[in-house]
């Protein structure tokens, strides 16, 4: 099924925008130094894996945009579309390899997405462009210090009843997110690793916990 079809058939879409403030946007990705020379690319890879993978497969209703803001040169965006991805495996080095192939290529113009491998698109632009493209979704900015993402009287249902509304989440790497866009919501007062925060979002949506939006 093509992603456009998902939208036309009004299937619930979950979106994750992840900002990599220092993540390398162009050149030869140092596969043996993803946390250092690549600008915390390790954090982004864990986030993209947590967004897209279940134990045995891919979540077809998920779209992830990684924002590579560490240069050299302008910001770059990589979009992973769960319903179209091929060759995406639960192994950090293999995902790093997919990213490495893309950032060797010349940076596309803002607003122009080029499919580099099935389901992996390459584009220019920054978080503001992603938010414009996602204006049909409720957007949550994940922030431990904000109000809770669920209602005070929400319960976890005893049967999984996945949420039917589309929703987008904004997360950062290890640095604070410098935007006031999106509804600020917390998953608890302890700051977590980004990929753990994503897993909790999936849990709440998979189980159908009533959200505070």
Distance between CA atoms of 172 and 116, rounded to whole angstroms?
24
Phi/psi at 76 (5° precision) = -130, 150
Using the contact rule CB under 6 A, the part of the chain among 51-59, 90-98, 160-168, 171-179 near ligand SAM is: 171-179
- Residue 123 backbone zone (phi > 0: left; psi -120 to 50: alpha; other: beta): beta
Minimum distance of ligand SAM from residue 171's CB (angstroms):
4
Q: Is 130 in the site for ligand SAM (CB under 6 A)?
A: no
Minimum distance of ligand SAM from residue 17's CB (angstroms):
10
Q: Is 190 in the site for ligand SAM (CB under 6 A)?
A: yes
Using the contact rule CB under 6 A, the part of the chain among 52-60, 131-139, 150-158, 166-174 near ligand SAM is: 166-174
Options 109, 128, 174, 203; binder of ligand SAM; rule CB under 6 A: 174
Q: Which residues contact 33 (CB under 8 A, 6 or more apart)?
A: none
154: burial class by Cβ within 10 Å (0-12, 13-18, 19+)?
A: middle
Per-residue mark of binding to ligand SAM, 192-211 (x: CB under 6 A):
xxx--x--------------
| Max CA separation in the chain (angstroms) | 51
Q: Is 176 in the site for ligand SAM (CB under 6 A)?
A: yes
Q: Which is nearer to ligand SAM, 21 or 101 (CB)?
A: 21
Phi/psi at 68 (5° precision) = -95, 105
Q: Which is nearer to ligand SAM, 191 or 203 (CB)?
A: 191
Minimum distance of ligand SAM from residue 192's CB (angstroms):
4
Q: Is 142 in the site for ligand SAM (CB under 6 A)?
A: yes
Q: Is 186 in the site for ligand SAM (CB under 6 A)?
A: yes
Q: Is 172 in the site for ligand SAM (CB under 6 A)?
A: yes
Using the contact rule CB under 6 A, the part of the chain among 25-33, 62-70, 156-164, 186-194 near ligand SAM is: 186-194
| Chain contacts with ligand SAM (rule: CB under 6 A) | 142-144, 171-172, 174-177, 186-188, 190-194, 197
């Amino acid at each position: 099924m093509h992603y456009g079809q998902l939208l036309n058939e009004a299937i619930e879409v979950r979106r994750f925008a992840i900002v990599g403030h220092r993540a390398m946007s162009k050149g030869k990705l140092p596969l043996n130094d993803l946390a250092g020379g690549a600008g915390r690319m390790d954090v982004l890879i864990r986030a993209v894996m947590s967004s897209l993978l279940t134990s045995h497969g891919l979540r077809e209703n998920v779209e992830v945009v990684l924002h590579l803001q560490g240069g050299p040169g302008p910001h770059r965006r990589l979009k992973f579309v769960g319903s179209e991805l091929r060759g995406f495996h639960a192994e950090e080095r293999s995902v790093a390899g997919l990213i490495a192939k893309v950032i060797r290529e010349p940076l596309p113009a803002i607003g122009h997405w080029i499919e580099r491998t099935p389901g992996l698109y390459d584009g220019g632009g920054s978080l503001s462009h992603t938010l414009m493209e996602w204006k049909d979704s409720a957007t949550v900015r994940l922030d431990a210090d904000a109000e809770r993402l669920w209602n005070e009287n929400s319960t976890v249902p005893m049967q999984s009843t996945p949420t039917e509304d589309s929703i987008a989440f904004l997360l950062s790497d290890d640095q604070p997110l410098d935007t006031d866009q999106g509804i600020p919501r917390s998953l608890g007062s302890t700051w977590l690793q980004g990929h753990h925060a994503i897993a909790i979002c999936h849990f709440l949506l998979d189980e159908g916990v009533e959200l505070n939006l």
